Homo-oligomer: A and B are copies of this chain.
């Protein structure tokens, strides 16, 4: 039973360390979530329970995986930003992506009953994940802006679509045709004029997604001598704010570790790298 005779097969494992000095983003996407959400009765266009469950899973990842400085989630996807100096798993791509994805998936099933107490899971939901390196803070911010813009665009569309269907009694096909080729202004107008809905007043979590950050909080404690006091502690906080503009970053300079202003958004455009 000579193990050593076979150990040469280890040499076929290839080194997959991600470039040092870059921000690492791990993005998870639900696999087959169209079917999964139908089968488990998710509310359309947004199911608050499902969003909160995803946030709970992301918080688990933030607390377990060192150097996750921020996470951003919308719909059935979540992006985790690891510090550019992270030494997590020696920056090995497979270790990082699979661990994050595994933890999120296991938490999704474990915490499911807390958010869907009436709905038993019919099969194990799954996610895929990828890692991307971003060399500068400007490009990292553009990545997050891309996801938040995506959240907005999809949510505005879905809100119109499902309002037409649910409140307007329109068949799905017709709703689709109604919306084809419309701009944001048209969609806002449609919601307001036909249904009295002011899109800007819808819950921010639907319009902005969720951003998780580490923040110091004060926890009331009782000292040994019996007095009330406050203890400072790091905790994960969920925000439903704009992260495209500068304000969010300006208020949290420790996130990117930059003390000089960044160039304007989109200026580090890599379109030169588009395949020819």
Taking Cβ atoms with an 8 Å cutoff, the residues of A that contact B are 1-3, 5-15, 17, 19-22, 28, 31, 60, 64, 84-87, 90-91, 93-95, 97-99, 101-110, 121, 123-136, 139, 142-143, 145-146, 149-150, 152-153, 184, 260-261, 265-266, 268-276
Asked if A271 and B11 make an inter-chain contact with CB atoms under 8 angstroms apart, the answer reads yes
User: How many whole Å from A154's CB to the nearest CB in chain B?
Assistant: 10
What are 25 A-to-B residue pairs whose CB atoms are below 8 Å?
Answer: A1-B152, A3-B150, A7-B146, A8-B270, A9-B143, A9-B146, A11-B20, A12-B21, A12-B134, A15-B15, A19-B19, A21-B139, A22-B22, A64-B126, A87-B272, A91-B273, A94-B131, A97-B98, A99-B127, A101-B102, A102-B126, A106-B108, A106-B126, A110-B121, A133-B135
Contact residue among B28, B149, B261 (Cβ-Cβ distance under 8 Å from A6): B149
Contact residue among B15, B84, B90 (Cβ-Cβ distance under 8 Å from A276): B90
Asked if A12 and B139 make an inter-chain contact with CB atoms under 8 angstroms apart, the answer reads yes
Closest to A261 in B: B260
User: How many whole Å from A11's CB to the nearest CB in chain B?
Assistant: 5
Asked if A128 and B12 make an inter-chain contact with CB atoms under 8 angstroms apart, the answer reads no
Contact residue among B95, B134, B143 (Cβ-Cβ distance under 8 Å from A130): B95
Asked if A17 and B110 make an inter-chain contact with CB atoms under 8 angstroms apart, the answer reads no
Contact residue among B20, B28, B108 (Cβ-Cβ distance under 8 Å from A270): B20
Contact residue among B8, B97, B134 (Cβ-Cβ distance under 8 Å from A94): B97
User: How many whole Å from A38's CB to the nearest CB in chain B?
Assistant: 18
- Which 7 pairs from chain A and chain B are nearest by CB? A135-B135, A106-B124, A6-B146, A15-B15, A20-B270, A87-B272, A109-B109
Docked CA distance A232–B99 (Å): 39
Closest to A131 in B: B94
Tell whether A98 pairs with B129 under 8 Å between CB atoms, given A11-B273, A12-B134, A273-B91.
Answer: yes
**Residues of B with C-beta under 8 A to A131:** 94
Contact residue among B15, B85, B107 (Cβ-Cβ distance under 8 Å from A272): B85
Tell whether A130 pairs with B94 under 8 Å between CB atoms, given A6-B145, A270-B8.
Answer: yes
User: How many whole Å from A99's CB to the nearest CB in chain B?
Assistant: 5
